[in-house]
């Protein structure tokens, strides 16, 4: 078994721990989600880590990830680092682990970030009665129009559960993005295209109208 580890220089002291994940992951931590992939929170060295295990890799993808494509774990790490450079919020990346057999065929992979405590996610905003819902949606549209899309960041899986929200003050929220392996970067995202990205969040016409109007204003277009 060949284990490849890449660690954010800030967390270089965790390299040995990351290398042990193929053995220790199943034995420790609290499972947050377990379907196609398993996500756990594990505390180590006074840090609360969020670890995503990409174990259920199809036979076809094992060969593709081994020789032709970056693994989902590596893509998640690289995207997170790039988001940080652009001032876009995401749980701080720690590193990733890839496990290969003797023939260098991928068996499993892990992406590791710091765990982010958050107040609610976009699903809570859209599906439940939350104070300031309108202002949260317009603030999110502003964030997308002025920070995320100008940086070329395009989240192909912009679902409600992939936007985490922290209230930092009156009418001031921080939006953080997770599940990054399907996020890409484009040279330019036109306002009309940006609105299409927002439609992935909901089919609620009122919510879409609120976000679209604010997005247009921030993009200097007619609402």
pLDDT digits (tens, 9 = 90+) for 130-187: 888 999 999 999 999 999 999 999 999 899 999 999 999 888 899 999 999 889 999 9
Residue the block writes with tokens 């990830």: 65
Residue 64 has pLDDT above 90, yes or no: no
Name the DSSP class of 149: G
Cα 94 to chain centroid distance, Å, stands at: 13
Nearest-angstrom CA–CA distance, 204 and 160: 12
Q: Are 18 and 7 in contact (CB under 8 A)?
A: yes
Name the DSSP class of 91: P
Q: At what angle do helices 205-218 and 191-198 cross, to 10 degrees?
A: 150
Nearest-angstrom CA–CA distance, 179 and 13: 25
Q: Are 195 and 215 in contact (CB under 8 A)?
A: yes
User: Which among 112, 122, 197 is positioned nearest to 152, based on CA atoms?
Assistant: 197
Point out the least confidently predicted range of 18-27, 58-67, 139-148, 205-214: 58-67
| Residues recorded for the chain | 223
User: For position 63, what pLDDT does the model report?
Assistant: 46
Model confidence, pTM: 0.90
| Residue 16 binned pLDDT confidence (cut-offs 50, 70, 90) | very high
């Amino acid at each position: 078994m060949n284990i490849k580890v890449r660690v954010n220089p800030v967390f270089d002291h965790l390299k040995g721990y990351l290398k042990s994940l193929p053995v220790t992951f199943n034995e420790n931590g609290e499972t947050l989600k377990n379907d196609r992939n398993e996500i756990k929170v594990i505390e180590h060295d006074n840090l609360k880590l969020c670890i995503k295990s990409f174990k259920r890799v199809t036979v076809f993808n094992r060969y593709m990830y081994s020789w032709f494509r970056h693994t989902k774990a590596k893509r998640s790490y690289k995207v997170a680092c790039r988001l940080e450079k652009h001032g876009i919020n995401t749980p701080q990346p720690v590193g990733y682990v890839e496990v290969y057999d003797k023939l260098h065929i991928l068996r499993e992979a892990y992406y590791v970030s710091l765990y982010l405590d958050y107040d609610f996610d976009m699903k809570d905003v859209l599906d439940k009665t939350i104070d300031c819902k309108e202002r949260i949606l317009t603030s999110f549209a502003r964030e997308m129009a002025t920070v995320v899309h100008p940086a070329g960041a395009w989240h192909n899986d912009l679902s409600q559960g992939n936007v985490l929200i922290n209230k930092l003050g009156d009418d001031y929220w921080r939006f953080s993005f997770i599940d990054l392996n399907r996020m890409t970067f484009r040279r330019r995202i036109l306002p009309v295209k940006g609105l299409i990205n927002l439609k992935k969040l909901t089919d609620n016409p009122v919510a879409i109208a609120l976000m679209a109007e604010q997005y247009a204003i921030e993009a200097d277009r007619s609402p």
